[in-house]
Amino acid sequence: MAAPVHGLPVNAASLSLQPVAAGDRIAVLDILRAVALIGILLMNMEAFSGPLDLSFTGIDPHWQGLDYAADALVYVLVQGKFFTLFSLLFGAGFSIMAQRAEAARRDFTPFYLRRSAALLLIGLCHALLVWSGDILMIYALMSLPLLACREAPTRWLPAMGVLVYLGAAVLMLLLGAMMGLAAQVEVGNAQLRETLVQAEQVIQQQRQAYGHGSYAQAVLQRLHDLGASSTAIVVVGPEVLGMFLIGSWFGRSGALAHPERFERLYRRLRWIALPLGLALMLGSAVWVPYVAPGTFTPVTGAAFALSSIASLLMCLGYLAWTVHARRHLQWLAPMGQMALTHYIGQSLVCTLVFYGYGLGAFEQLPRAWQLSFALLLCALQLAISHAWLRVFRFGPLEWLWRAMTYRQWPPLRRRPVQG
């Protein structure tokens, strides 16, 4: 889902590519990244273990009993809440880096454009070579309009972010209305039938390529999926950019660096935004629990728009509760420091377990066991993070991303402590 953004210290170390000093890091950012990573894997599990186009469609009625409950739990509490949290953290990191670059009197724009280009390349490799559900490319593309908003007054950022984010909900409503109008005419009905047939064909192609095909066949299918899913940026793009802008306010205002100064805000997010978002999400899930691939109506468009608004509120509520419990969650921070590595690592492990060129468990794991698998993998990644960062300064992909950004190889190993 999203990549980590590390703030740069305002001293000579930043110019010589040294790691962020412990005192310069904002610890809660790493904790929040770890929480977001866990949620993202819980959300992505159905897309790893089955056809991508059958995922993220609501509460799938083919599940029964405990599996149905697990699917409903993920849809209501997880789906759409944690990639938005990652987006918010990306925006927060952007504003922190921009502030530190300005204080150090360094030109921020060339540095950030290289950083975005490197992220785009990493995302493209991820989407084609590992898993077609990549979000990094959208992050890289949306980082450009975020850069254009760098000079916006801090007090404007929350309103700007919410308006841009709500643009996605409006687009869902418009798309549903257009589909409804098309269905009222004979030509529209014929197009609807053709769309349903095409959707089923794509699902069967994904089953064959990912569940039973070779690695080369899977890469070809990922290339097809990448082209087909490129239109998703019309809806996902405004959601991501909106969260970037909201996150920029959290970073620029000091709400993450000094949360004790914003206790009233966080209290409102915990006790008002989260319950309200949960109520809206439950209402959406009861109203339209499932949308079959290839179908979209004014009702489903409205339900999806409602769930999008709910996801924004719940994301902010989750953020506030994590900040509130930050002193008890410090043990999660190393996982957040390696968020890019672990995001790609989740895709590597899951595709090797489920895809035909791996262990071949495609569409074999019950829904409830998918969640258990996800939590076990996150626990393993957490243990690896603690061990790795005792020896190295960065995660492997964080190191590579940094090297591509600064155009030289930063030192990876930690210096031994002198006795």
Q: How confident is the model over 155-165, as pLDDT tens digits?
A: 999 999 999 99
118-132, 293-307, 326-340, 394-408, range with the lowest pLDDT: 293-307
To the nearest whole percent, how much of the chain has pLDDT over 90? Answer: 77
The Cα angle at residue 151 between residues 149 and 157, in degrees rounded to 5: 60
Cβ contacts of 21 within 8 Å, gap of 6 or more: 9, 13
Among residues 382, 273, 384, the alpha carbon closest in space to that of 37 is found at 382
Per-residue pLDDT averaged across 106-127, rounded?
A: 95
Structure confidence at residue 357 (pLDDT): 97
Cβ-in-10-Å burial (0-12, 13-18, 19+) of 257 comes to middle
- In the predicted model, is pLDDT for residue 3 greater than 60? no
* Cα distance between residue 143 and residue 29, in whole Å: 19
pLDDT classification of 18: cutoffs 50, 70, 90: very low
For the chain, the C-alpha Rg in angstroms (whole number) is 21
Find out whether 148 and 98 touch, Cβ atoms under 8 Å: no
Per-residue pLDDT averaged across 352-368, rounded?
A: 97
Structure confidence at residue 198 (pLDDT): 83
Structure confidence at residue 8 (pLDDT): 33
Cβ atoms within 10 Å, residue 390: 9
Find out whether 4 and 337 touch, Cβ atoms under 8 Å: yes
Cβ-in-10-Å burial (0-12, 13-18, 19+) of 233 comes to middle
Higher pLDDT, 417 or 202: 202
Find out whether 239 and 383 touch, Cβ atoms under 8 Å: no
Per-residue pLDDT averaged across 218-233, rounded?
A: 90
Long-range contacts, stretch 202-206, CB < 8 angstroms, 24+ apart = 202/53, 202/228, 202/293, 203/51, 203/53, 203/54, 203/293, 206/51, 206/52, 206/53
- In the predicted model, is pLDDT for residue 211 greater than 60? yes
Average pLDDT, the chain: 90
Structure token digits, residue 275: 């319950």
Cβ contacts of 103 within 8 Å, gap of 6 or more: 10
Structure confidence at residue 196 (pLDDT): 77
The 3-class secondary structure across the chain, one letter per residue, is CCCCCCCCCCCHHHHCCCCCCCCCCCHHHHHHHHHHHHHHHHHHHHHHHCCHHHCCCECCCCCCHHHHHHHHHHHHHCCCCHHHHHHHHHHHHHHHHHHHHHHCCCCHHHHHHHHHHHHHHHHHHHHHHCCCCCCHHHHHHHHHHHHHCCCCCHHHHHHHHHHHHHHHHHHHHHHHHHHHHHHCCHHHHHHHHHHHHHHHHHHHHHHHHHHHCCHHHHHHHHHHHHHHHHHHHHHHHHHHHHHHHHHHHHHHHCCCCCHHHHHHHHHHHHHHHHHHHHHHHHHHHHHCCECCCCCCCHHHHHHHHHHHHHHHHHHHHHHHHHHHCHHHCHHHHHHHHCHHHHHHHHHHHHHHHHCCCCCCCCCCCCHHHHHHHHHHHHHHHHHHHHHHHCCECCCHHHHHHHHHHHCCCCCCECCCCCC
- In the predicted model, is pLDDT for residue 9 greater than 60? no
Cβ contacts of 56 within 8 Å, gap of 6 or more: 43, 46, 47, 79
Structure confidence at residue 348 (pLDDT): 98
- In the predicted model, is pLDDT for residue 319 greater than 90? yes
* Cα distance between residue 401 and residue 409, in whole Å: 10
* Cα distance between residue 368 and residue 374, in whole Å: 10
Q: Give the global pTM.
A: 0.91
Q: Model confidence over 328-347: pLDDT tens digits?
A: 999 999 999 999 999 999 99
